[in-house]
Structure 1
């Protein structure tokens, strides 16, 4: 379906809300990636001052979770044209790029499976579906085949992006897919989960958010998650990771895992199990999932299942987010597995740019946890990267962070940002966007 200017109104409690995309041209479509498995994308064409939108790159945005919706959270919460107040976002990426939001894996957001047995259970299966999704996308939109393609994944989306990158590149080489994959970005990404978990305690201790006793308690729980993983008990390691989160909540009186300078708003005892609490935090991009929002903002689920569903003509039998919990649960055995070897493969065998960016206020995918696996990378430029200078990032006379690079790998430390850097620090975000794409 093609969408140009759409205004859809809904009368709610004596006032009218509507979605008005004005000059933002967009398109949405389903791609059947396997029999009974249907993946959904929502494309926004750039409004950059160019003669044709194909003069700008195509960026795929992947949300985390697994089970987090790109078309909802990535779009309305982070970088799409409109925010949750349905007002225009002045730093939307659509001003510089064509942006493709994908509800991935199948079962996420508006993507759905006809039977839950069709959900993916490994990162490799997720990547296979993504290649099929891209084939469907390029079949409908062949004008994008030759322009640079960049995959940006946040949190678990960054983990998924690595195997996607490998399989997209292989499909390009084999002639199975005509695309131009040029870069992959991992934003506060779940690359090496054990490393991330082991650094929670030390970051909290350094920030003064726990005392020595609290630190030792958290580390004991984290080391147990590591032990279970090393023994190959991957599902139990995931459950223990959730228990470690619960220990952090208890010892910090509910620090926000996505920004250590804030606390979770807690209005009632949390009756969810540790794994349910952790799952909800990963899927919904917040450690605290509330049924009420500020008066001027939409509840994301209500918005997607009313105005957006009508706008995009989603099938009546599809409910946004209804299978998201099942998506997370299906991947429990894969959740704690790292993708570091995949990064090494991409660095050693391709010219694809790999960018690691991290908001320094994040806890769940904290910068110290990222540095652990980065320093262990085995690739041709590893020694040169270690010896490369760490340079400041200045934007409008403000120090937004630092970066370090060699060859096709770079690391960006971003100040004034937590888990979601594009939302928290748009100015700092411009630095790594320009580095990879020349725009931003």
Structure 2
């Protein structure tokens, strides 16, 4: 939640492990490289600001993607029948930014929706989701690829982008392209989409959905609003935006940070005496800091990040090496998650040749991008959502029930508190079981364009922890049958 990002690893990437307890909030900032090592991530560069210009700097660089070492699948899926591509698109309103992306054509139909996934951090690469969550492939220990039976490309044409600039394989020759707020981030993403659909007009009329995790709870509403605004102004290619989904995200910090103690007490992480002390000493300071952020600019907003994170650090100080992305688990040593196979795989020459990245370094998570976005952290991104709902753009907020850092309770609180024309009806709507294979996989509340789903037996990274339920969630939501049971949804789609 608020911290959901606080560690710059939005897991889901991926807020991952930045939120280790520290003696002071500022320790987090200066220990960032150590936190990356805790994840077994060892980027050779902190940010991709390169000194040499690319020979293709002013044009698209895209190539068909054929990963080496891909093992055959039992389902008979063949790459020969699928359009996979990767490459760089120039960002037209930047100084020299080039965004790297993956595109995986749907295994079902080219007419399926186009779904874009945004990894959080801020500053973590999309490859974290590609290989560990909802992409078409998983990485085996021998560096071969195996098909993911629950990849989201089974029901959608799937896009992943390394953003903001400097993240993953995305790069610039100009440091002015490092972004500090959601206006810059969303404008770059909008330019990317315009370039993508100009190159691939065959997908431009498909339904379009924005998805992501953790700090993407900031990115996604801003990006959705930017796309909707561009459509209304007829700026470029019309993008058929139908909805946006936020998984275990940070969206309204003022509400979500206050919910930390409630969640921690409910789950037995802290005692009532701890709860009372934190609420008395730290929560009021956080509330004041966020208010000052709303009236001032960079200094107050950056300061509020450190003030409010004392709440989370205080909670962690009462735990025994808990995995704050999944409180059922312990961190093994300093490693709560191990993503080292990704970096090994992406360092293989044949893989880099297949991607066409040349000598650009892979930056799994960038502390430069993370620090640049601190001024953005405590801003409320809920404010633009009601207008999207009123115009019929659907929103799904989902959250694994065992995540502490961007917990379901804080997300539920801001969704219920959001003022829009259907607020009263949404609040009074009943929770119903979300069933997968006749088993309850979560609890769902929905009214009109708004849905909230608490996912059972999952932590911060729902597609990793509950891949089948996550795929079913995406499928039903994009088809407009999320509130139906599995059998009912299949029957309804068949009749349509």
Aligned residue in 2 for 1:207 = 267
Q: Is the 8 A contact 1:148 1:180 kept in 2?
A: yes
Cα offset for 1:328? 0.7
Matching of residue 84 in structure 1 with residue 139 in structure 2: yes
Q: How does 1:3-42 map to 2 (within 5 A)?
A: 3=64, 5-7=66-68, 18-19=69-70, 23=79, 25-33=83-91, 34-42=94-102
Aligned residue in 2 for 1:168 = 227
Cα offset for 1:112? 1.6
Cα offset for 1:217? 4.9
Cα offset for 1:218? 4.4
Q: Is the 8 A contact 2:243 2:394 kept in 1?
A: yes
Counterparts of 1:97 and 1:323, CA distance in 2: 26
Q: Per the alignment, do residues 309 and 223 of structure 1 end up closer, same or farther by CA in structure 2, a change over 3 Å counting?
A: farther
Aligned residue in 2 for 1:314 = 357
Matching of residue 344 in structure 1 with residue 386 in structure 2: yes
Cα offset for 1:431? 4.4
Q: Taking structure 2 as the reference length, what is the TM-score of the superposition? A: 0.76
Counterparts of 1:242 and 1:36, CA distance in 2: 35
Q: Taking structure 1 as the reference length, what is the TM-score of the superposition? A: 0.85
Matching of residue 437 in structure 1 with residue 478 in structure 2: yes
Counterparts of 2:211 and 2:346, CA distance in 1: 22
Instruction: Give unmatched runs, 5+ long, in structure 1.
Output: 8-17, 268-286
Aligned residue in 2 for 1:410 = 451
Matching of residue 57 in structure 1 with residue 113 in structure 2: yes
Helix, strand or coil: the match of 1:188?
A: strand
Matching of residue 327 in structure 1 with residue 369 in structure 2: yes
**Greater percentage in strand:** 1
Q: Which deviates more from structure 2 when the two are superposed, residues 388-397 or residues 19-28?
A: 19-28
Counterparts of 1:323 and 1:254, CA distance in 2: 23
Q: Per the alignment, do residues 172 and 229 of structure 1 end up closer, same or farther by CA in structure 2, a change over 3 Å counting?
A: same
Q: How does 1:369-380 map to 2 (within 5 A)?
A: 369-380=410-421
Cα offset for 1:222? 4.2
Q: Per the alignment, do residues 391 and 29 of structure 1 end up closer, same or farther by CA in structure 2, a change over 3 Å counting?
A: same
Q: How does 1:74-113 map to 2 (within 5 A)?
A: 74-85=129-140, 86-113=145-172
Counterparts of 2:71 and 2:125, CA distance in 1: 21
Helix, strand or coil: the match of 1:436?
A: helix
Cα offset for 1:302? 2.8
Counterparts of 1:306 and 1:244, CA distance in 2: 42
Q: Per the alignment, do residues 187 and 323 of structure 1 end up closer, same or farther by CA in structure 2, a change over 3 Å counting?
A: closer
2:434 to 393, 397, 417: 393
Matching of residue 228 in structure 1 with residue 295 in structure 2: no
Q: Deviations over 1:161-189 (max 9, x none)?
A: 11111111111122223221111001111
Q: How does 1:254-265 map to 2 (within 5 A)?
A: 254-265=321-332
Instruction: Give unmatched runs, 5+ long, in structure 2.
Output: 1-61, 73-77, 294-299, 482-489, 491-496
Q: Is the 8 A contact 1:5 1:20 kept in 2?
A: no
**Aligned length in residues:** 398
Cα offset for 1:351? 1.3
Q: Deviations over 1:97-117 (max 9, x none)?
A: 110001111111111222333
Counterparts of 1:153 and 1:211, CA distance in 2: 33
Q: Is the 8 A contact 2:242 2:394 kept in 1?
A: yes
1:305 to 330, 334, 347: 347
Q: Is the 8 A contact 2:214 2:247 kept in 1?
A: yes
Structure 1 runs of 4+ off > 4 angstroms? 19-22, 287-290
Q: Is the 8 A contact 2:256 2:410 kept in 1?
A: yes
Aligned residue in 1 for 2:305 = 238
Helix, strand or coil: the match of 2:329?
A: strand
Helix, strand or coil: the match of 1:209?
A: coil
Q: Deviations over 1:280-329 (max 9, x none)?
A: xxxxxxx7476xx6xxxx5322322335423201031x211177111110
Which is bigger in relative contact order (C-alpha 8 A, separation at least 6)?
2
Q: Per the alignment, do residues 323 and 264 of structure 1 end up closer, same or farther by CA in structure 2, a change over 3 Å counting?
A: closer
Counterparts of 2:305 and 2:327, CA distance in 1: 22
Q: Which deviates more from structure 2 when the two are superposed, residues 240-249 or residues 391-400?
A: 240-249
Q: Deviations over 1:23-76 (max 9, x none)?
A: 25411121221122111111011111x4xx2x2111001111111111x11100
